[in-house]
Amino acid sequence: MKNGMVYLVGAGPGDPKLITLRGLECIKKADVMVYDRLSSPRLLSYAKPGAELIYAGKSPVRHTLKQDEINSVLVEKAREGKTVTRLKGGDPFVFGRGGEEAEFLLAHNIPFEIVPGITSGIAVPAYAGIPVTHRDFNSTLAFITGNEDPAKEDTSIEWDKISTGCGTIVFYMGMSNLPHIVDRLITYGRPADTPVAVIRWGTRPEQQTVTGTLTDIVEKARAAKMGHPAIIVVGGVVSLREKLKWFEQRPLFGKRILVTRSRSQASVLAEKIESLGGEPWECPTIEITDPDDYKLLDAAVKNIESYHWLIFTSVNGVKYFMARMRYLGKDIRTLGNIKIAAIGPKTREEVEQYGIFCELMPEEFVAEAVIEALKDEEIRGKKILLPRADIARKVLPETLRSMGAEVDEVNAYKTVPGSGDTEQLIKMLEDERIHVITFTSSSTVRNFIKIIGSDNIPRLLGGVVTACIGPITADSARELGLNVDIEAREYTIDGLVQAVLDYFGGVN
């Protein structure tokens, strides 16, 4: 069997969007992915279905797999003819032991490729507002390992040279040795008032930065309970932080926000959260699929000219209805004499993309508002088509029938349980790493409760903020035992985001 290929990929410092395009390609095509603790778990969501995920889990204080075991796994999987992506925090060749892995692969005749990543020594200070070089402060920069055993008699770090010979010094993995690092720098001539920054979990919502000088940074870091993983920056450039810090200034900084809507729609909400400094965590609790059969919808489409009103309650309803029109060869002009109503501006916008304008869009984006608006219309004896989800509420068709209309309620699409990583979700809730949960429909609430179990609500959601897109979703959440902290006044994604901002005192 021909040997497979191994990609040694730098995953960047933590923010998943700092992965390179080439790195993302390698993740997507991997049969096997061997990943580190410092690789963002969100990157794993790009793995293809069925890919084998192996956690290497290395940290300064504990190794799930030792380095020789990792080397052996890479060779073993490649010899099975598989494409292997070794996902490493930062850059594989900057204190990442990527060189050792490449040598081992070469010795066993396994082809490999190195995919550089953004190293944390540059990116983490940047997210803390510290440029590692600046013409007013330094013209030299050094990257140094910070986890060398201070008890070693023969150190590989030439403290007498680097202490005064480098303008900015960046230490990786140095928290345990911070007192020793400070002592060596001062002993070998670095002024005690030199600015220092310690940055933990840089580029992530948990990012924490402590600044001081060589004189007091140990005490300040200890008081702030700083631990691994952390970057230590020494030099005058640290003084620029107060002026240039930007990441922590964003209104949703520090908030990891769960997005439960379907994967095909999640990106809109996720992008808005990210632009405001939050970290969206996508775990779709629902997916939108074709209905079990199109018989009723097709019959309605074929006889579309017989209807007086066409009411769309969601963007999905519009998309699936129009797709069926196209499939059955029905010209859009056959809708010319039909009045169209839409619930919500996004649904109306979706309709208008087809060159059609809505006669009716109520100010409140719920079914009850459509009913209220139609009271001014003469709908008795009129024929109304309502293409929507299989699990939609019955209040709209039932009330319209009571008003004398003939209503054909047809399934245009189906809502099924989502494909999110439920094990990872529960683990993150247990670790208190989710700060806000967003719900955009009653079905997202119901399926979320199915995932975690209603008995686990107090244990897993005690400190989590719950945000709902509107009153119907909020009522469903309360009925299922959730506390609703945020309810959007405008029942749209923009309204939901604004409500979250308002709750945390942000400004948009």
Contact 93, 7 (CB under 8 A): no
The answer as to CATH 3.40.50.10090 being correct for domain 290-417 is yes
Contact 140, 109 (CB under 8 A): no
Predicted TM-score (pTM) of the model is 0.80
Q: Residue 187 pLDDT more than 80?
A: yes
pLDDT over 80 at 376, yes or no: no
Q: What is the pLDDT of residue 129?
A: 97
Rounded Cα gap, residues 397 and 409, in angstroms:
7
Q: 151-154 long-range CB contacts below 8 Å, 24 or more apart?
A: none
For the chain, the structural domain boundaries read: 6-117, 122-249, 256-285+418-503, 290-417
Tell me the two tokens of residue 79.
């010899």
Does the pLDDT at position 88 exceed 80?
Answer: yes
Cβ atoms 402, 268 nearer than 8 A = no
Point out the residues that are catalytic. Answer: 36, 58, 173
Ranges 281-290, 389-398, 422-431: which has the least confidence: 389-398
Percent of the chain with pLDDT over 70: 95
What integer is the mean pLDDT of 36-60?
82
Please report the pLDDT score of residue 508 as a whole number. Answer: 46
The band of 149, judged by pLDDT with boundaries at 50, 70 and 90, is low
C-alpha closest to that of 322 among 347, 287, 293:
347
* DSSP type of residue 445: H
136: number of CA atoms within 13 Å, CB side?
6
pLDDT single digits (tens) 424-463: 888 889 999 999 999 998 889 998 998 888 899 999 998 8
Listed in sequence order, the residues at least 6 apart from 107 whose beta carbon sits closer than 8 Å to its beta carbon are none
AA letter at 1: M
Largest CA distance in the chain: 95
The residues, any chain, with a CB within 8 Å of residue 128's CB and separated by 6 or more, are 197, 199, 202, 207, 209, 241, 245, 247, 248
CATH 3.60.21.10 fits 256-285+418-503, yes or no: no
Could you give the 3-state DSSP secondary structure of residue 339?
Answer: strand
What confidence score (pLDDT) does residue 60 get? 53
* pLDDT tops 60 at residue 151: no
Q: Assess whether the region 256-285+418-503 and the region 290-417 belong to the same CATH fold.
A: yes
Q: Indicate if the pLDDT at residue 63 is higher than 60.
A: no
| Nearest CA among 50, 45, 12 for reference residue 31 | 50
Closest CA to 445 of 419, 418, 463, 423: 418
* % of the chain at pLDDT higher than 90: 60
The candidate with the shortest Cα–Cα distance to 348, out of 323, 384, 319, 312, is 312
pLDDT band at 244 (very low <50, low <70, confident <90, very high): very high
Number of neighbouring beta carbons within 10 Å of residue 386 = 24
pLDDT attached to residue 150: 59
Return the pLDDT at 507: 53
What pLDDT shows up at residue 490?
A: 86
Of 377, 427, 371, the closest CA to residue 399 belongs to: 371
- Chain centroid to CA 223: 31
CATH architecture designation of domain 6-117: 3-Layer(aba) Sandwich (3.40)
Dihedral, CA atoms, 37, 230, 22, 276, nearest 10 degrees?
100
pLDDT of residue 232: 97
Burial of 39 (0-12, 13-18, 19+ CB in 10 A): buried
pLDDT-derived band at 153 (thresholds 50, 70, 90) equals low
Q: At what angle do helices 345-352 and 315-327 cross, to 10 degrees?
A: 20
Query: Positive or negative CA dihedral for 343, 270, 289, 471?
Result: negative
| pLDDT tens-digit map of 308-366 | 989 898 888 999 999 999 999 999 899 888 989 888 888 899 999 998 888 888 776 66
pLDDT tens per residue across span 131-143: 999 999 999 999 9
What single-letter amino acid sits at 375? K
Structure tokens at 398: 């039932």
Q: What angle do CA 458, 460, 464 make, to 5 degrees?
A: 90
The segment with the largest mean pLDDT, out of 31-45, 233-247, 281-295, 366-380, is: 233-247
* Whether pLDDT at 506 is above 80: no
d(CA 51, CA 196): 43
Q: Which residues pair with 388 in a beta bridge?
A: 411
Q: Specify the CATH number of the domain 122-249.
A: 3.30.950.10
Q: How large is the average pLDDT for residues 375-393?
A: 82
- pLDDT category of residue 417 using cuts at 50, 70 and 90: confident
